[in-house]
Amino acid sequence: MKLNSIKIKQKAIDLGFDAVGISKAEPTLKEKERLYSWISENKNGSMHWIEHRKEERGDIHKYYADAKSIISVALNYYTGMNQKNLASNYKFSSYAWGDDYHQVLKKKLFTLFNWIKTIKKDVNGIVCTDTSPLMEKVWAQKSGLGWIGKHTNLITKEFGSWVFLGELILDVNLEYDLSFQEDLCGTCAACIDACPTKALDDYQIDSKECISYLNIEKRGDFSEQDNSLNGWIYGCDICQEVCPWNIKFSKLSDEVSFMVRDEIKNYSDKDWEKLSEFEYKKIFKNSAVKRVKYTGLKRNITKNKS
Ligand code: B12
Ligand code: SF4
Ligand code: SF4
């Protein structure tokens, strides 16, 4: 069998990905400039890891010199439920209700990569999701999966923005998809208006103002100046919940590992307030919530109480 884009895309869908597209690894000069100016305005806050590897983020060949093709995948995580279905007023973003997406996507991407290697032995590549130094939304758009909305997330026409992104970068040429050219936000500004901390400004986010940054990425204690978390103790979904593309086009995910864990669904405010480290470790085994550690989650609960 000869390796070609149609077969790769079919295999990705067979493995459970909801969308897949392929783009040529080429310079991203405009996006690099925007990234650099975003960093120079300190919109990354204390996420210095973005700055430290900005050259790779802005130039795919600085990250992987032999890169020829980028296979972008999206995996839908919409469970059909929202915050109103949870017992507590302390809110977890739905992206963290189930198993850690990094593990779920990487497993599927490695399976895809190994399958490709059975067809073409000498192909080399890198599997990425979230933590690798590349602009995933930019590549997803170039691979034709959707557009970057005013809330700065990648929106697909088929599933809205409740999708995780991942990539398989290969050192071989393939046939490429057309990049997604349209901006289907139009005159809508629902996300900008709904953001309680005013973190959004037309296609850009000031992370320092964003609740998701404050309760996940910010280390140490909160300062007087830090925004209210508005009840969120892990992540924030507000700008995505109000997006008409999510309201109209969300579809239930087939991925059972993303379904909400019982404790996240049923725990009361009191249960979260008296959460022990032992319980924390048990509830959040293989969960993205581990990123904040026990002390981080307790810090977020305390900030919401005060
Ligand atoms: C840093 C980071 C964050 C930061 C900053 C978010 C951000 N929007 O950049 C914080 C902690 C706030 C965050 C929060 C969230 N994140 Co996050 N995050 C990342 C990460 C690791 C890097 C993103 C990055 O490079 N940002 C820097 C900016 C400059 O890059 P960019 O957004 O790609 O840049 C484009 C736009 O900003 C725009 N732009 C910039 N300036 C200008 C100016 C003009 C005029 C225009 C038109 C455009 C424009 O163009 C840039 C490039 O061209 C990615 C994974 C990855 N490796 O890409 C995940 C990622 C973006 N996050 C993800 C998720 C799920 C979230 C949350 C939804 C989680 C949650 N529920 O709490 C929130 C969403 C908050 C929000 N409204 O964006 C997903 C998004 C999936 C999707 N459908 O898009 C990603 C892709 C992870 C993944 N693998 O699935 N995240
Ligand atoms: S995640 Fe929440 S705080 Fe951050 S931009 Fe969206 S609505 Fe605003
Ligand atoms: S809420 Fe409106 S402006 Fe914001 S991303 Fe969705 S369609 Fe675009």
Mean pLDDT of 9-37: 98
Ligand 3 center to residue 144 CA distance, Å?
18
Q: What is the pLDDT of residue 279?
A: 98
- Report pLDDT digits (tens) over 151-204: 999 999 999 999 999 999 999 999 999 999 999 999 999 999 999 999 999 799
Asked whether 19 and 160 are in contact (CB, 8 A), the reply is no
Name residue 19's beta-bridge partners: 74
Asked whether 35 and 57 are in contact (CB, 8 A), the reply is yes
Q: What is the pLDDT of residue 164?
A: 98
Question: Would you say residue 1 has pLDDT above 90?
Answer: no
Question: For the chain, what is the mean pLDDT?
Answer: 97
Ligand 1 proximity of 165 Cβ (cutoff 6 Å): yes
Asked whether 49 and 32 are in contact (CB, 8 A), the reply is no
Q: What is the pLDDT of residue 118?
A: 97
Q: What is the pLDDT of residue 202?
A: 79
Question: Would you say residue 3 has pLDDT above 90?
Answer: no
**Can you tell me which atom of ligand 1 is nearest the CA of 30?**
53
Residue 11 pLDDT grade (very low, low, confident, very high; cuts 50, 70, 90): very high
**Residue of 66, 130, 193, 254 marked catalytic:** 130
Which residue ranges make up each domain of the chain?
Answer: 1-306
Q: What is the pLDDT of residue 2?
A: 80
Q: What is the pLDDT of residue 305?
A: 87
Mean pLDDT of 66-93: 97
Angle at 12 between CA 290 and CA 150, to 5 degrees: 60
Q: What is the pLDDT of residue 92?
A: 97
- Report pLDDT digits (tens) over 225-253: 999 999 999 999 999 999 999 999 999 99
Residue 36 pLDDT grade (very low, low, confident, very high; cuts 50, 70, 90): very high
- Report pLDDT digits (tens) over 116-157: 999 999 999 999 999 999 999 999 999 999 999 999 999 999
**In the structure, which protein residues have their CB atom closer than 6 angstroms to any atom of ligand 2?**
151, 195, 197, 199-200, 205, 210-212, 236, 238-239
Asked whether 140 and 74 are in contact (CB, 8 A), the reply is yes
- Give the rounded distance of the alpha carbon of 257 from its chain centre: 16
For residue 38, the number of C-alpha atoms closer than 13 Å in the C-beta half-sphere is 26
In angstroms, rounded to a whole number, what is the distance separating the alpha carbons of residues 54 and 50?
Answer: 6
Question: CA of 104: how far to CAs of 74, 111, 139, 152, 258, in Å?
Answer: 12, 11, 20, 23, 9
Q: What is the pLDDT of residue 306?
A: 72
Mean pLDDT of 52-73: 98
**Can you tell me which atom of ligand 1 is nearest the CA of 47?**
1
